[in-house]
């Protein structure tokens, strides 16, 4: 053993595997960055996802399908299933809720490295991987229980599989890779439904290349295969093969109506382009991205052509086609173009610096500068995301309600009802049982919105928001706790 | 109209003088140098106007006299329009792109109208709207000399433009950014060109100038371009450096004289840049003695002494109330107090990420050129200035002394002695993008610089955050001031809460009782005035006590703010229905009373 160790030429071993060491360093750096800016389960949507994962972890599929009867995102199986597994083994909590998302974010860095390596070389791969490791948008959503941290992995993997397929000469292998491409898009659809749009990237690519091959049909086969599997799952659970799509369409129609009602028309805008260029989380990259995109079009002579198509097609979709554009535009929807944007920047940086004597130093200093900018952006956003005072008050009140036999909780508006319910639930089975389940059809019907007219029932709790409540506190209410502007009372 | 008057009074005389003195000047350097020479010439009109209380008409006569003399001299010399334009190439294209790009940006970015801007506008308005010209305090009718900004040449320039063009000073201030910002870009270019003696490197330095100020800092310094400290630092100081570097290289006397004259002009605009120039020249001269050219030390001493001597009469005139001016130094959050009155800048606040990056680049450059430092005059200059900055900011003996001289606020700005833009540009061009110590501007690099500049210009207005200074009473205070401007006699004393008081002299030709302590000059007894203002409005004092104070300050108008900010004076309306006081105006937030002085 010792003799074998001594026979290794460490210098040449290190030189030969330099890119692997650097990639490992990038991954370690990415983990540290993500853990430093850890968020956990804070947004309202995350609580719904957590509840569904909780049902899965306890193998309670009836509740999974029917508890939130009209929940449009019931189809996001790839989000719920792995987290359900994590809940099962690690218990319910912040870390188990985001574990799979965090691992996916790290895996995406590796995938981006391979894409960069494939389209130009390993240095482009490394630069792109590093940029993704520090990208504030990716960092902040990698530790939140939302689809935005997970979906990029499936789309990047699909892109990588497609690029491998394009290069492959053996027919069988090529078809398997196309099938895998479709399969991964299909899986992405079960993280967020809009992922199907990624197919359009390949269509636009084929149009630009001027070649439609019959082999591409295998992409559709892969996609339909996932669709079929998920359909079977829903059929056995609900007797409806398209259960998830029915829920989704109902919600989409509703939200489209809301957009029309609030704005008077459907919006065609550059909202996401604006976010891409101006949002605090994306600002450290905006100048680099804009410069690199124009530079790529002039100088890279199609070497990163696929990535540019990927970037522009999805941006076009977000700006002009996505059902929520104009209303509810948020930076997180741009997570699906983070990967192509870092590869565009990476390829540009490499092209610019190659051939100069101190190119490594130049690249390094630029990356240090971008890292510092990314860190500044995260320093602004992270406290707002992770420590929002609005959430703090409900978290506190929910803690006060823990382990209490709750008859009823009165709140003074619908939004508060959602918040307080999710905080009381707090992914904890104990709390969940304290709701005396079985009496109610919908789990949050015990938290009721109070119009201030009918007096609250005796033995119930009342949450009072001092800025919102229109009814005065009654003499028979006992103050239990108070934080910020919220107070919790017990009705004697 | 105001812009035309500004060009006529400042830029044209400056241009004519530049045609006589610097006839070989590069065309792109003419705007900043004309601007500075124009201000220099304005001293001939401004100082007599201040000292002998001339009217603007008399001041204009002085200006027209020297304008006529200069025109005649230029015509005799025959070089009125002969400008030395460099050949059009990449550097020129890049420079034009940046200058015009930044000019266009200013149409989308509004000037800053809060903080110090209101103080300056108050001082300028008094000059512009009252005749004759006077250096006295503008916020309070006390006939004392304002120690900070009395006899200010820049105030005089804006005031005479506003008076002759019959334009409100706020409008003149807003319009001036379109001249000042592009001029500051070109002034920086002049400095970089004189330092590096390389057009490409100078133009690339301008990219970093726009990047740091425009892109990274939300265009903050572009928005406050008309502040005296900005005009001094971003235009006059850079032009003085241009002259000094030209003198250091060519040893021509005209550059020596103009370094001294411009150096002496600096304290007439803002003291900080004067100190900056003196430190910078001293540091460079000493460093040159050891590292490159020994003769530079002698030149440096000559320049510093001459600037000190020439500035002395003006400083004496200005600091006639010095005993009251130099009070205790007010420290800021970033000070690290070591002992009683002994402090330095806290390295935790002072050394930020960008500075570390710059230090790394500077150390790398010094190491790289360690054998031929003698020929790298630019490197000696930037390195010596950076070293001087650290030796003052982090030196427990120098820090309290310099703070006493220019206040802590401006002392910690000595960090500007580290020229980030120049160091990073030099590092990038001479180290990173060079092969075998030779920088070759490949087509690829050209495109990169042009694309990134264009992208930056596009992004600056897009990312510009304009919601920053929206305040609660913005609409109501503007309605109140409109009423005051039209209905209240000029030069009345108005009592109001601190926030509203600060706006009254800025937007109308009236006086106040007190405002925020940081915006009252040291010789007006600010603490007493604020406590008196509290007596006027406090719920704990009665109407009679309030009236006694109102009479003592000759207050004829009282403004009660129903919605003051939490840190302001809490106002109670105890004037309704009282004798000697009559309600004139109310808009829901503000009520204005007329008070009959006893």
**B2-55: pLDDT as tens digits:** 899 999 999 999 999 999 988 888 889 999 999 999 999 999 999 999 989 899
User: Which residues on neighbouring strands pair with residue A465, listed in sequence order?
Assistant: A486
B472 vs B476: CA distance, rounded Å = 9
Cβ–Cβ below 8 Å for A365 and B455 = no
Q: Give the HSE-up count for residue B479: Cα atoms under 13 Å, Cβ half-sphere.
A: 13
Rounded distance between C-alpha atoms, residue B262 and residue B247, angstroms: 13
Judged by DSSP in three states, B146 sits in: coil
pLDDT at A400: 72
- pLDDT tier at B291, thresholds 50, 70, 90: confident
Q: Which residues of B touch A282 (CB under 8 A)?
A: none
Helix (H) or strand (E) holding B585: strand B581-586
A486-491/A477-483 β-pairing: antiparallel
pLDDT of res. B163: 92
Q: Find the DSSP H helices in B136-198.
A: 153-165, 169-196
Can you tell me the mean pLDDT for A448-467? 72
Selecting from A295, A356, A376 the residue whose C-beta is nearest the C-beta of B433 gives: A356
With contacts defined as CB-CB under 8 Å, which chain A residues touch B431?
Answer: 358, 361-362
Letter string b/e over residues B154-186, b meaning 16 or more CB atoms within 10 A of that residue's CB: bbbbbbbbbbbbebbbbebbbbbbebbbbbbbb
3-class DSSP state of B465: coil
Q: SS3 letters for A103-119? A: HHHHHHHHHHHHHHHHH
The residue of chain A with its CA nearest to that of B461 is A278
d(C-alpha A353, C-alpha A345), whole Å: 12
Given this model, what pLDDT does residue A437 score? 39
- pLDDT band per the 50, 70, 90 thresholds, residue A416: low
The nearest CA of chain B is from the CA of A450 a distance in Å of 33
Decide if B463 and A283 are in contact by the 8 Å CB cutoff: yes
Please list the residues that pair with B591 across neighbouring strands: B560, B586
Task: Name the residue in chain A with its Cα closest to that of B452.
Answer: A291
Section B76-87 average pLDDT: 83
Helix axes A94-119, A77-90, angle to 10 degrees: 130
Nearest CA in chain B to A359: B432
Residues from B contacting A (CB-CB < 8 Å) are 215, 353-354, 357, 360-361, 364, 427-428, 431-436, 444-445, 447-448, 451-452, 455-456, 458-459, 462-463
How, if at all, do strands B493-495 and B555-561 pair? parallel
Select the more confidently predicted residue: A90 or A442. Answer: A90
Q: What pLDDT shows up at residue A23? A: 94
Under 8 Å between Cβ of B284 and B385: yes
Asked if the model's pLDDT at residue A430 lies above 60, the reply is no
Q: In chain A, pLDDT over 90 holds for what percent of residues? A: 34
- Contact assessment for residue B27 and residue B18, using Cβ atoms and an 8 Å cutoff: no
Q: Give the residue, B34 or A390, on which the prediction is more confident.
A: B34
Contact A290 B458 (CB under 8 A): yes
First to last CA, chain A: 77
State how far residue B454 is from chain A, nearest Cα, in angstroms. Answer: 8
Torsion of Cα atoms, A429 then A432 then A437 then A441, to 10°: -120
pLDDT above 80 (res B338): no
Tell me if A291 and B353 make a contact (CB, 8 A cut-off): no
Query: Cα–Cα distance between B400 and A297 in angstroms, integer?
Result: 56
Contact A362 B444 (CB under 8 A): no
Cβ A487 vs Cβ A466: under 8 Å = yes
Q: What confidence tier does A289 reach under pLDDT thresholds 50, 70, 90?
A: very high
**CB distance A53 to A83 below 8 Å:** yes
Do B215 and A287 lie within an 8 Å CB cutoff? yes
CA distance B550 to A318: 63
Which residues 288-317 of A are in CB contact (within 8 Å) with B? 290-291, 294-295, 298-299
- From the candidates A291, A345, A376, which should be mutated to test the interface with B, based on the most B CB atoms within 10 A? A291
Count the neighbouring beta carbons within 10 Å of the beta carbon of residue B138: 26
| Whether the Cβ atoms of residue A140 and residue A38 lie closer than 8 Å to each other | no
Categorize the per-residue pLDDT at B542 as very low, low, confident or very high, splitting at 50, 70 and 90: confident
Lowest mean pLDDT segment, chosen from A103-112, A169-178, B430-439: B430-439
pLDDT digit string, tens, across residues A306-346: 999 999 999 998 888 776 544 555 788 899 999 999 999 99
Is A278 in the B-facing interface, judged by CB distances under 8 Å?
Answer: yes
Which value does ipTM take for this structure?
A: 0.82
User: With contacts defined as CB-CB under 8 Å, which chain A residues touch B360?
Assistant: 365
Average pLDDT of span A404-424:
66
% chain B with pLDDT above 70: 95
Measure in Å the smallest separation between the Cα of A461 and chain B Cα atoms: 35
DSSP-based three-state secondary structure for B584: strand
3-state DSSP helix/strand/coil % of chain A, to nearest 5: 70, 5, 25
How many CA atoms are closer than 13 Å to the CA of A83, on its beta-carbon side? 35
pLDDT of residue A451: 61
| R_g (Cα) of chain B, nearest Å | 26
Q: What is the DSSP string of B230-295?
A: HHIIIIIHHHHHHHHHHHHHH--HHHHHHHHHHHHHGGGT-HHHHHHHHHHHHHHHHHHHHHS-TH
Residue A299 and residue A397: Cα distance in Å, rounded?
A: 59
- Coil/strand/helix, residue A177: helix
Task: Nearest by CB to A294, from B434, B435, B451: name it.
Answer: B451
Beta-carbon contacts of residue B198 (< 8 Å; ≥ 6 apart):
none
Cβ contacts of B489 within 8 Å, gap of 6 or more: none
pTM score, two decimals? 0.84
Eight-state DSSP code of residue B374: G
Give CA–CA dist B213/B191, Å, rounded. Answer: 17
Positive/negative CA dihedral, B68, B74, B75, B80:
negative
Which pLDDT band, with edges at 50, 70 and 90, does A127 fall under?
Answer: very high
B235-248 pLDDT per residue, tens: 999 999 999 999 98
Cβ atoms < 10 Å from Cβ of B363: 12
A372 to chain B: which residues are within 8 Å by CB?
Answer: 353-354, 357
User: Cβ contacts (< 8 Å) between B435 and chain A: which residues?
Assistant: 355-357
Q: Using alpha carbons, select from B81, B42, B31 the residue that is nearest to residue B64.
A: B42
**What gap in Å lies between CA B123 and CA B120, rounded to an integer?**
5
Nearest to A278 among B354, B444, B462 (CB): B462
Q: How far is B433 from chain A (nearest CA, A)?
A: 6
pLDDT of residue B111: 87
């Amino acid at each position: 053993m010792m003799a074998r160790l001594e026979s290794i030429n460490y210098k040449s071993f290190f030189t030969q595997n330099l890119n692997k060491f650097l990639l490992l360093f990038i991954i370690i750096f990415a983990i540290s960055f993500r853990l430093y800016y850890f968020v956990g389960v804070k947004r309202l949507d995350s609580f719904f996802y957590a509840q569904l994962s909780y049902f899965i972890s306890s193998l309670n599929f009836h509740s999974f399908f029917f508890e939130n009867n009209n929940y449009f995102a019931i189809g996001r199986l790839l989000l719920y299933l792995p987290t359900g597994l994590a809940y099962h083994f690690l218990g319910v909590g912040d870390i188990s809720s985001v574990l799979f998302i965090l691992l996916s974010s790290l895996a995406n860095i590796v995938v981006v490295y391979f894409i960069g390596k494939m389209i130009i070389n390993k240095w482009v791969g490394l630069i792109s991987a590093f940029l993704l490791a520090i990208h504030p948008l990716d960092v902040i959503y990698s530790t939140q229980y939302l689809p935005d941290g997970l979906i990029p992995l499936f789309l990047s993997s699909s892109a990588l599989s497609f690029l491998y397929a394009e290069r492959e000469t053996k027919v069988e292998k090529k078809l398997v890779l196309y099938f895998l491409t479709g399969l991964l898009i299909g899986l992405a659809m079960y993280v967020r439904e809009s992922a199907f749009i990624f197919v359009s990237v390949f269509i636009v690519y084929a149009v630009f290349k001027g070649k439609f091959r019959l082999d591409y049909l295998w992409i559709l086969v892969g996609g339909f295969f996932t669709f079929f599997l998920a359909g079977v799952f829903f059929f056995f659970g609900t007797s409806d093969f398209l259960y998830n799509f029915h829920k989704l369409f109902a919600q989409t129609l509703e939200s489209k109506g809301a957009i029309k009602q609030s704005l008077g028309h459907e919006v065609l805008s550059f909202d996401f382009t604006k976010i891409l260029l101006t949002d605090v989380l994306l600002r450290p990259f905006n100048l680099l991205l804009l410069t690199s995109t124009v530079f790529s079009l002039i100088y890279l002579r199609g070497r990163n052509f696929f990535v540019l198509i990927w970037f522009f097609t999805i941006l076009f979709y977000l700006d002009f086609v996505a059902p929520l554009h104009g209303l509810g535009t948020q930076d997180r929807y741009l997570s699906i173009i983070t990967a192509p944007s870092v590869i565009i920047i990476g390829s540009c940086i490499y092209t610019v610096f190659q051939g100069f004597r101190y190119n490594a130093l130049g690249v390094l200093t630029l990356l240090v500068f971008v890292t510092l900018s990314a860190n500044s952006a995260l320093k602004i956003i992270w406290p707002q995301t992770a420590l929002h005072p609005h959430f703090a008050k409900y978290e506190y009140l929910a803690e006060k309600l823990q382990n209490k036999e709750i008859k009823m909780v009165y709140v003074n508006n619908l939004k508060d009802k959602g918040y307080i319910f999710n905080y009381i639930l707090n992914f904890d089975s104990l709390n969940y049982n304290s709701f005396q389940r079985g009496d109610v059809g919908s789990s949050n019907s015990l938290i009721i919105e109070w119009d201030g007219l009918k007096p609250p029932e005796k033995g119930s709790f009342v949450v009072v928001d001092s800025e919102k409540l229109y009814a005065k506190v009654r003499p028979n209410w006992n103050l239990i706790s108070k934080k910020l502007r919220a107070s919790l009372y017990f009705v004697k | 109209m105001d812009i035309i008057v500004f060009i006529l009074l400042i830029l044209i005389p400056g241009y004519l003088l530049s045609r006589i003195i610097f006839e070989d000047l590069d065309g792109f350097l003419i705007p900043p140098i004309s601007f500075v020479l124009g201000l220099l010439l304005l001293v001939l009109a401004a100082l007599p106007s201040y000292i002998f209380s001339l009217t603007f008409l008399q001041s204009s006569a002085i200006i027209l006299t020297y304008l006529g003399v200069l025109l005649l001299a230029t015509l005799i010399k025959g070089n009125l329009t002969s400008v030395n334009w460099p050949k059009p190439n990449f550097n020129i294209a890049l420079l034009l792109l940046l200058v015009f790009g930044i000019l266009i940006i200013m149409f989308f970015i509004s000037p800053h109208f809060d903080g110090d801007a209101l103080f300056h506008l108050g001082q300028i308005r008094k000059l512009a709207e009252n005749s004759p010209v006077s250096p006295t305090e503008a916020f309070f009718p006390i006939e004392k000399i304002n120690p900070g900004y009395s006899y200010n040449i820049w105030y005089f320039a804006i005031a005479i433009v506003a008076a002759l063009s019959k334009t409100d000073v706020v409008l003149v201030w807003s319009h001036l950014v379109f001249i000042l910002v592009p001029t500051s870009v070109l002034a920086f270019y002049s400095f970089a060109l004189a330092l590096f003696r390389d057009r490409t490197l100078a133009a690339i330095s301008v990219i970093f100038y726009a990047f740091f100020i425009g892109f990274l800092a939300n265009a903050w310094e572009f928005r406050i371009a008309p502040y005296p400290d900005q005009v001094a630092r971003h235009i006059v100081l850079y032009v003085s450096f241009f002259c000094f570097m030209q003198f250091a290289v060519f040893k021509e006397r005209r550059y020596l004289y103009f370094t001294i004259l411009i150096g002496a002009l600096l304290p007439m605009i803002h003291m900080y840049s004067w100190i900056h120039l003196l430190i910078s020249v001293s540091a460079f001269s000493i460093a040159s003695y050891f590292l490159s050219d020994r003769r530079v030390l002698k030149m440096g001493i000559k320049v510093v002494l001459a600037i000190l001597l020439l500035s002395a009469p003006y400083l004496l005139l200005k600091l006639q109330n010095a005993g009251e001016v130099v009070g205790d130094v007010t420290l800021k959050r970033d000070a690290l107090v070591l002992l009683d009155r002994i402090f330095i800048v806290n390295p935790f606040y002072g050394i930020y990420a960008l500075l570390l990056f710059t230090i790394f680049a500077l150390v790398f450059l010094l190491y790289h050129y360690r054998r031929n430092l003698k020929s790298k005059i630019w490197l000696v200059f930037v390195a010596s200035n950076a070293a001087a900055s650290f030796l003052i900011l982090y030196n427990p003996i120098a820090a309290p002394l310099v703070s006493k001289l220019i206040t802590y606020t401006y002392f910690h700005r000595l960090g500007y002695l580290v020229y980030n833009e120049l160091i990073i540009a030099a590092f990038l061009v001479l180290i990173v993008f060079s092969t075998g110590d030779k920088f070759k501007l490949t087509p690829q690099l050209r495109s990169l610089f042009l694309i990134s500049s264009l992208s930056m210009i596009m992004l600056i207005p897009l990312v510009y955050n304009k919601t920053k200074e929206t305040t609660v009473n913005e609409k109501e205070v503007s309605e109140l001031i409109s009423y005051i401007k039209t209905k209240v006699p000029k030069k009345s004393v108005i009592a109001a809460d601190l926030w509203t008081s600060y706006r009254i002299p800025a937007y109308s030709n009236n006086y106040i009782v007190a405002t925020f302590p940081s915006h009252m000059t040291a010789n007006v007894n600010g603490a007493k005035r604020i406590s008196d203002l509290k007596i006027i409005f406090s719920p704990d004092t009665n109407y009679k006590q309030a009236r006694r104070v109102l009479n003592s300050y000759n207050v004829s108008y009282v403004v009660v703010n129903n919605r003051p900010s939490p840190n302001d004076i809490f106002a109670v309306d105890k004037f309704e229905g009282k004798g000697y006081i009559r309600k004139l105006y109310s808009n829901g937030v503000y009520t204005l009373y007329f008070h009959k002085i006893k």
